[in-house]
Each structure stands twice: as structure tokens, then as C-alpha cells.
Structure 1
Amino acid sequence: MNYHNPVISGFHPDPSVCRVGDDYYLVTSSFEYFPGVPLFHSKDLVHWQQIGHVLTRTAQLDLRTAGSSGGIYAPTIRYYKGTFYMTTTNVSGGGNFYVYTNDIHGSWSDPVYVDQPGIDPDLFFDDEGTVYYTTSHDAMGQGAYQSRINIETGERLSDVILVWKGTGGQYPEAPHLYRIGEYYYLMISEGGTEYGHMVTVARSKQPEGPFESCPYNPILTHRSQQQSIHATGHADLIQTQDGNWWAVFLGIRPIGYPQHHHLGRETFLAPVHWTEDGWPIIGDHGTVSEIMSAGSLPLHSQPVSPVRDHFDGTTLASFWTFLRSPDSERWSLTEKKGYLALYGSEVSLNEGGVPAFVGRRQQHFECRTAAHMTFAPQQDGEEAGITVFMNERFHYEIAITRIKEERKLIFRRRLGTLWKVENEILWSSDSIVLIVHADQTQYSFGYSDNGQEPVWFGHGECGLLGTEVAGGFTGVFMAMYATGNGEKSSSPAHFDWFDYDFT
């Protein structure tokens, strides 16, 4: 049987995975979005279901001052003697830390900080109980740096030492240390997380080296190749119950020429083959495809999420996220039963800070989103609607707003320093269904009133929200938002339901 890559689509980069019995758990980075570090479960490495987030409290994660593509960088998840550990970097404050839990479905501890510079931290538990903490670092020189730590306190028990510089590619990062047979394998990524990305590996008889570089490096790369998948790298190895090895890693699926990708860096899967002299090679001699053989994986399908979220619960579904941090005064599921209420803050989508923003990742090139909104702005500047959002400098909106005491429906594009309200009409009703259709190259924005057929109101190119244009490390979000555009809004926007359909 075959499976399809990516195994987790949309903005889910820097995957790390662990196995506990027949269960697999995977985390990805989340940058300036809250809650932090999406957490997934699988029975087969192919079908993944999000079961929550690791960092769910502001005591664990404060992103209020995080810039675009700041916040939480690459995590590592590991399981040791009944406890799950997740370590990561908050580049916007605090540095490297880890959290832990005995219940993967419960809450995680407050952060335990590690006095070690760098990013992309890795935790390795040796058979003797020694814990090694490995990071990538530039200020001390490029390469993988390592120390031993006390896992109870985070205290360093040794100096930080350079253990491997890699093979010469730029930005050696994402180190992971493993004990496999008689060797310690150190796997990293090089070339930067762009089109030159690659995975390299070295090994040693000692966890601190010296490390011997694999003669077959890079063991995974799509650089300078004509493929539908590019920028493959940042891998983590996992052994299945039957003794076979697999790798999860990030990649992108760019569109057009010049190429651009707007869904973000996604999570891919490939088998790992071992050479006769004991080196791992990922995929087909270091390359992967969108359709691959599942081999001996016992495929288990996961339930499909419903198209419509009615906001009937007391908590948001796990796929919803806030931009930077939640403001309890700006959103509610209980103010009006069965509705998500948003009160616009003074912060608009064009700046940093904490806007009233509840969004989900765009995970498919072709998809349809729609939301039923009730909104009656009472003062100029109040605005609410749907945004297709890459960052504060690149986004599109269809929204209701009040301008010079007139209520209007608008479609707006913000592209760098260029922004324009492309279309506007007077709008008298308090109720509207806002619609966004996406294909590989274009977003189409429309509206419906009283159940009528959609009226198309504006269009925006997908490529102009791609990383190659907009910059950064994230992907596009489809989000409900509200703003007072400089003043706190007193008029709530009530969202009765939100659809995301890719069928």
C-alpha cells in the first residue's frame, strides 16, 4: 500500500517524533502563534490527529512582544522512563527550555530553562541515565554544541563544547543525537531551511565525539532537483515496533515559476535504509516523492474533522490559534452561547501586538472557507471579518467596517508597503456570510446574504503571500478577526460558525 506526502499538511515545520509502545507522538514548531507546539498522535506514522498543544498557558509561553516569525522555534519530543519531555527555544524571550508531563493528554510543566545558547535543542538520554543537551549555535561558531544537564533542574553539569561542524553547508542546525547499535549518531541539517536544505549525519563511539562524517552525505536533499517537493531537511529518526526505521522531516511544495510556497513548511515521512557499513539513508537514495510505499506500516486511518465548527463547546478546537497571545477580554465562547465573540482591540492586522484574531492553518491548495458573522459597528474604525494572513505586511481581508459613519463591506489587499481597498459597497444588514475560495494560484473573496448565491467581491494571488515574497518561516492562516483600528472596539463580532472544506 502507498501513502501520500506530506503526512501533515500546511504550516507544520521542524517535526520531531517519539514512540511509546504502539503509539507515536509528534510535535512541530509554532513561532508567534499561541498555543505553542502543536501535538499529534498516530498509530502508523502516516495518519496523524492533533490532540492539543504542549504550551497552553501564558506562564509557559509569553509571545506578546514576539515579532513576525519570532517565538517558538524547532522542538524535540522524547520519552524516558514514563515521562514525556519537550524542549524548544523561545527566541523572543527566555531562550532554551524544556517542559515535561506523565500524561500526554494532560497539561505540561512550567518551563525549566537551560543555560546553553543556540537554537533547535535536542534531549538525549543515555542508557546510563546521563542526559545530553545539544543545540546549534552561531555566536560561538557554527555547528552542534553539547553539554550534560541535570534533568531535574536544567542545570548544566559540564561546559558547552563543539561536537561537530557539519560538512560545510551554511547554518548547521537541528541536531539530534541517537544511540543505535555500537554508535552514537548525530544528525543535523545544513544549507538553511530554503531550497538548499539537506540532512547530514556523523557517528562516534562516544556521545561527545569525535564524530566521523558519513561518506554518503547528504543523506536527504532535493537541492537543484526538478521535484514537486523542495527544501527537505530538519529530520528526526524513529524506529517502529518491527525494527524498521523511518524519518519525519520538513519540506515545501512550491507553485509556479519563479517558485513560491504559501502553505508553509510541512511534515513529510520517508523510510530509512541502512548501508552495509552502518549509515542511514533517507528515502530513495536521499530523495522522496508525494506517493511512497508504506512498506510494513500498519495503516490506521484517523477520523476526519467536520467541515463546520459551530462553536458550541466551552473551549476552542485544537486547530484554532491566536496571534501572539490570547486576550481574555477580546474573545469569548460563553458571552453568546453557540457563538465565538470577538471584540476588536486597538491593534490592527498591520502591526505587531495582540489583535483579536482566531485562525487556523491553510492546509490545502484547494479549499473553501466561510463564516457567518453578525456585526454592527457603532463607531468609525470598528472592523471585523476574515483575513488570509501570512504576516502583518502581507494579508488580504473581506470585512465589515464603519467609515465616516457609513457601514461598508470592503475587500482589501496589503502587500508590503502597498495597500489598497480594492472594492467596497454600502452594507445595511447586521448579518453576512463571508467566503474565501482558494486554488493553487488565487484566492477569491465573496459574500452571501440571506442564503443567496455568493457574490464575488475580490481576488488575490497566492504567490504574493508566499515566503519568497513575504519572508519569514510560517504559512498562511485563514482567520476571523476584529479591530478598532487604533481604538478598542465596543461592538462585538459574533461568529455563528466557520467552515473549512477541502473535499
Structure 2
Amino acid sequence: MTHYSNPVLDADWPDPDAVRVGDDYWMIASSFNRAPGLPMLHSRDLVSWEHVANALPALPQAGHYALPRHGSGVWAPSLRHHDGLFWIVYPDPDHGIFVLTAPDPRGPWSEPWCLIPGRGLIDPCPLWDPDGRAYLVHGWAKSRAGVKNRLTVVEVDPALRHIVGPARTVVDGDELPGFRTLEGPKLYQRDGWYWIFAPAGGVATGWQTAFRSRSVWGPYEHRVVLAQGDTPVNGPHQGAWVDTPEGDDWFLHFQDRGVFGRVVHLQPMGWDPDGWPVLGDAGRPVLTHPVPVAGAEPGEPVRSDDFSAPGLASRWHWQANPADGWAVVDGGGTLHLPAQASPRGSLRDQGAVLCQQLPGQPSTWQTRVDLAGDAPGTRAGVVVLGREYAWAGLVRTPVGLEVTLRRGGTDGDEEVVAQEPVPHGASGIDLRAVVDGDGAVTWGWRAAGTQVGDDASWHDVAPPWQAHVGHWIGAEVGLFASAPLGAVLAPGDGGTFGPVRVTVAGKEA
């Protein structure tokens, strides 16, 4: 029998929620400041996933998110299917709780509307009761609301357009011994019980709890149903309870892997004689397990891109709401990024950085980079971006074109780590970033057009650089082109990138 290994998605898919409709499983994740946001993944077997769409082309507060707002934006969303529609309810901790719908998860999705305005309302999840009423459970962010560690339920209209009655705290974590940072609730019904699945104890150090009550308003009793124990799976955190067409139950949750982000695990789920869920191996996360569907082969979303189709694939996202003209992909095999003005020169400040998540296994990223433009300071390259970042690529100087490696942080300043002139007459190079199992990056370059497989032609730019986590996210790999504020740019100035080829654990991804 085929087994899968956890994590089933070894990359940053934070705060996953999922539903099954027929034979199809659909999953979404937090996207924070990134756009397009609300990534939609599809599976037929819970272990092989494809990134098929993004439900949110841009955050609705367009002006606010025209710049990167690290750590803000879309926090933990929920995904449900009701009355023939798919529903996403997501929180923006600075603006409120929002809703959007679609008949097909691949889209198009409706424009989001605000169900509950306010600051600090997080992690919402709706439930439609068989009696025709609807409820919403949510948590609280102390950074915005001044309170946390509690779960609130409020009745809403079935169309999720407005509040119907007063909100009530149904679980106060301060009253539960040892509980802290109770958040991420998901609301369900089964066998006459209302269930709230919610983690507590912190993202990297906590556990998963199940609460149940005969009334949506409580009182709720609880049990810890998944904890690290003697396994390497720290802080098994919030996720989704799903079932199979055959009636088996499973639980998807995340684990915080630092620089690699919040990776997704799949746990078998059963029930004890008292009607409580049993997750994993008697409450311990499993590392391997037989696949849910016979013959299923585990697999992750595609990363490489030959740019042979017009437009950007779902796997790419920006650091802020995109503007027209940030990318040109005509289907001819290249991506052109027009140089964007960068007031401080910091890539953390630049929305026009086109990114993917850093895989959780050793990976190699390779592409060709060409730079057009005579304005000194114009540059294009590949960046590994977190709270601190490093990039390698090309920069125009007053005397020519150079290969450079630079690093920067939250203060906006960059440090030149290495630089050397490009061979005379060349406008481009092949560039690669080799990332090891700890997230250390070794940058290399060679003359463009070197025969594929000629590894001896690569020049390492500098010793390895350790990647850093982002704000609530793992590190990312991105492409960019920028120029100093006030630079005189001609049409076409910027960076052109050839196919992006990614290998993960030695296999093309």
C-alpha cells in the first residue's frame, strides 16, 4: 500500500482550511499582504495538490495596499460550500471581516464585501444551521483589539451580509488552565453537537483543541486532541476537518517551520467511545500513513515556469496590490518586468517583486536575466525575501554592467557583498540560487547561453547567506526590476527573465 509522508505540502501555505464537494477537495490559505491573494488549491485524494486559482485579485483597500503592508491583509480565512456556492470568509485585522462567493472555486469570485467592520477581528468561520439560522465564530488579535485568547460567536443572516444579534464570548481561554493565544476556530456540527476546533499555546509551541456543546452559545467542554508529544512536529496548529465520500475523517493542519513557513500536514481522524475526535496516532502527529485513496501519489504544486502562456500563472504573487504594467508575459517564453521606481532602493518597500514560496526541502532556482536601460542604478535579479533579504543580479553603473550580490533589512539600507563586471558586450547572465535544508542560499552566475549541464561554468558570488523569515510568513523567492527615484527610463527598460526552472530535493518541480 502506498504511504504519504508529512508534510503533504512542504511550503508556506499558512492557516489552511478545506472542504470536500463530491469527489473534490478544495483548500485555501492565508495570503497576508500578497496579491493576488487567497490561493485556491485542488486535490482528489488529499495528498496531491494543484494551485488552480487565487480568489482575491487585489485587496479591497486599494490605496492602503498599494505598498507592502507586511503582516497585514488576509489572515486565516475559512472556506465553505452552502446553497450551491463556495464561500470564503476572511479577516483583515485592520479593517474587518470580509466575504466573497463563487459557484466554482476556480473563479471568477465576487467582489468582497464587509460583513463586520472593525479592528482585531480575526479567524472567522461561518456555520449554517439546519434550522435556517447562521452563525459566525471568530477570535481576537490583541495587537489591534487589546484582547485575545477568547472565541466569540455572533448570529448573522444566512447571506452573510449583516449581524443579526449580539456577539457572545463562548470560550474564554483565560479561564482554562494553561491556555494562551486561543485562536483559529473552525465551527462544525455532528451528531447533535456544535464543535469548535481551535489551537492554543502559540503558533510554534501550541496544540489543537476540540470544544463541543449542545448549543452554539455553550457552555463548551474541551479536550486537547493533537499535540507534539515526542514527535518533531512542533505546535500542530489550526486547520480543517474533512471527510471522504466513504465517510472517513481527516484533519489538515499546519506546522511552523520557520524560514520555510507554515507547512501542511494530514492526520487520520477517528472517534473514541465518548464521541471525541482522535487525531493522528492517539493524539500525536503521524509522520507517515497509508494514503486516503488507493493508488494516490503525493505531489505538490508546480513551481517552474517557461512563460509559454500569456499572463502570469497562479503560482506567482506580488508584495502589494499590482498596478497595470508591472509584468509583460506574452506567451513567447520570457517575462519582462519594467523597472519600477524605488525611493529607498529597498526591496522590502517595493510592491513589484514577483514571488513564490521557498520550498521546505533543498531547492535550486535558475533563470536567465537580461537588463535593459542606461540609467545608473537600474537593476534586475533574483531575491530571497524575508525580514532581511539578499539579491543577486545585474546593475547598471556609470562604466558598464556588473553582477552583484547585495543584502538589506528593515532599515531600508543595502550592503554590497560582492560585485564584478559582466563580460564585455553581454547584456545578460544565467543566475541560480541554491538553497540547502537549513535555508542557506548560495548564489551563482555564468555567461548567458552556456551549455545546459556545464556546472563547471558557474561562479559562486559569495559564501552562503542564511535566509530569514518574513512577517507571519516564510521566506520567498522573487524576481524584480527597479531603478532609482527620478531615473530617466526609456520604454522597455527593466529586466527580462527566461524560463524559471526549479528543482526540489533533486527533482524538477
TM-score w.r.t. length of structure 2? 0.88
Quickly say closer, same or farther: Cα 1:45–1:306, change in 2 above 3 A: closer
| C-alpha separation in 2, matches of 1:66 and 1:456 | 31
| C-alpha separation in 2, matches of 1:495 and 1:444 | 20
| C-alpha separation in 1, matches of 2:160 and 2:171 | 26
Match of residue 177 from structure 1: 187
| C-alpha separation in 1, matches of 2:160 and 2:191 | 30
Residue of 77, 85, 88 corresponding to 1:86: 88
Contact 1:377 1:401 in 2 (8 A): no
Tell me the amino acid that sits aligned with residue 79 of structure 1. Answer: H
**Displacement of 1:151 after TM fit?**
3.4
Match of residue 289 from structure 2: 292
Quickly say closer, same or farther: Cα 1:305–1:454, change in 2 above 3 A: farther
Q: Give runs of aligned pairs for residues 47-66 of structure 1, distance below 5 A.
A: 47-57=48-58, 59=60, 63-66=65-68
Work out the percentage of aligned pairs sharing the same amino acid.
Answer: 23
Which consecutive residues of structure 2, in runs of 5 or more, have no partner in the other structure? 452-456
Quickly say closer, same or farther: Cα 1:227–1:323, change in 2 above 3 A: same
**Displacement of 1:329 after TM fit?**
2.6
| C-alpha separation in 2, matches of 1:317 and 1:307 | 10
| C-alpha separation in 1, matches of 2:347 and 2:382 | 17
Once superposed, which parts of structure 1, at least 4 consecutive aligned residues long, lie more than 6 Å away? 302-307
In the alignment, does 2:498 pair up with 1:496?
yes
**Displacement of 1:373 after TM fit?**
1.6
Match of residue 434 from structure 2: 437
Residue of 416, 421, 425 corresponding to 2:420: 425
**Displacement of 1:349 after TM fit?**
6.3
Contact 1:373 1:495 in 2 (8 A): yes
Residue of 263, 271, 278 corresponding to 1:281: 278
In the alignment, does 2:248 pair up with 1:244?
yes
**Displacement of 1:159 after TM fit?**
0.8
How big is each residue's C-alpha offset from its partner over 1:348-386, in whole Å with a ceiling of 9 and x where there is no partner?
Answer: 662655433112111232111111122133111111001
Contact 2:124 2:137 in 1 (8 A): yes
Quickly say closer, same or farther: Cα 1:304–1:161, change in 2 above 3 A: closer
Match of residue 107 from structure 2: 106
In the alignment, does 2:223 pair up with 1:220?
no
Contact 2:234 2:255 in 1 (8 A): yes
Contact 1:386 1:481 in 2 (8 A): yes
Tell me the amino acid that sits aligned with residue 135 of structure 1. Answer: H
Farther off after superposition, 116-125 or 431-440: 116-125
CA-atom RMSD in angstroms? 2.3
Name the count of aligned residue pairs.
Answer: 480
Residue of 164, 167, 178 corresponding to 1:160: 167
In the alignment, does 2:206 pair up with 1:197?
yes
| C-alpha separation in 2, matches of 1:178 and 1:303 | 29
Helix, strand or coil: the match of 1:63? helix
Q: Give runs of aligned pairs for residues 255-334 of structure 1, distance below 5 A.
A: 261-294=258-291, 296-301=292-297, 308-334=304-330
Quickly say closer, same or farther: Cα 1:301–1:63, change in 2 above 3 A: farther
**Displacement of 1:301 after TM fit?**
3.6
TM-score w.r.t. length of structure 1? 0.89
Tell me the amino acid that sits aligned with residue 477 of structure 2. Answer: M
Residue of 59, 67, 70 corresponding to 1:68: 70
**Displacement of 1:226 after TM fit?**
5.3
How big is each residue's C-alpha offset from its partner over 1:175-225, in whole Å with a ceiling of 9 and x where there is no partner?
Answer: 11111112111111111212x2211121111112121223xx2x1122xx5
How big is each residue's C-alpha offset from its partner over 1:265-284, in whole Å with a ceiling of 9 and x where there is no partner?
Answer: 11111011211111112211
Quickly say closer, same or farther: Cα 1:108–1:60, change in 2 above 3 A: farther
Contact 1:344 1:355 in 2 (8 A): no
| C-alpha separation in 2, matches of 1:308 and 1:114 | 38
Tell me the amino acid that sits aligned with residue 402 of structure 1. Answer: R
Contact 2:68 2:350 in 1 (8 A): no
Match of residue 135 from structure 2: 132
**Displacement of 1:492 after TM fit?**
2.0
| C-alpha separation in 1, matches of 2:67 and 2:351 | 12
Which consecutive residues of structure 1, in runs of 5 or more, have no partner in the other structure? 254-260
Quickly say closer, same or farther: Cα 1:193–1:499, change in 2 above 3 A: same
